[in-house]
Amino acid sequence: MYRVEFGRRAARDFRRLSTDIQRRIDSAIQGLANDPRPPGCKKLAGEDSLWRIRVGDYRIVYQVQDDALLVIVLKVGHRREIYR
């Protein structure tokens, strides 16, 4: 089982979302503890350890540290803004 932590920016972005979206994203993030690379996740091009998952129109960008059994959520946001 992996430990899931939020980066400072991800925590701030998550708090700014509506409660309904927060619930949907939170369940997806908690699922990363059991499987950090679930079906449908994609590795970000040009990055060694960054992955993303979709939750509707929202994206969660995270880093997996297999040696420490750690998932660090780096960004949470709408798909049109997340990659900027």
Q: CATH number, domain at 30?
A: 3.30.2310.20
Q: Is residue 83 part of a domain?
A: no
22 pLDDT band, cuts 50/70/90, is very high
Q: Is residue 84 part of a domain?
A: no
User: 36 — phi, psi (to 5°)?
Assistant: -70, -10
pLDDT confidence of residue 48: 85
Structural domain boundaries enclosing 59: 3-78
What is the radius of gyration, based on Cα positions, of the chain?
Answer: 12
Q: How many other C-beta atoms are found inside a 10 Å radius of the C-beta of residue 30?
A: 10
Q: Is residue 64 part of a domain?
A: yes
49 pLDDT band, cuts 50/70/90, is confident
- pTM over 0.75? The answer is yes
pLDDT confidence of residue 51: 97
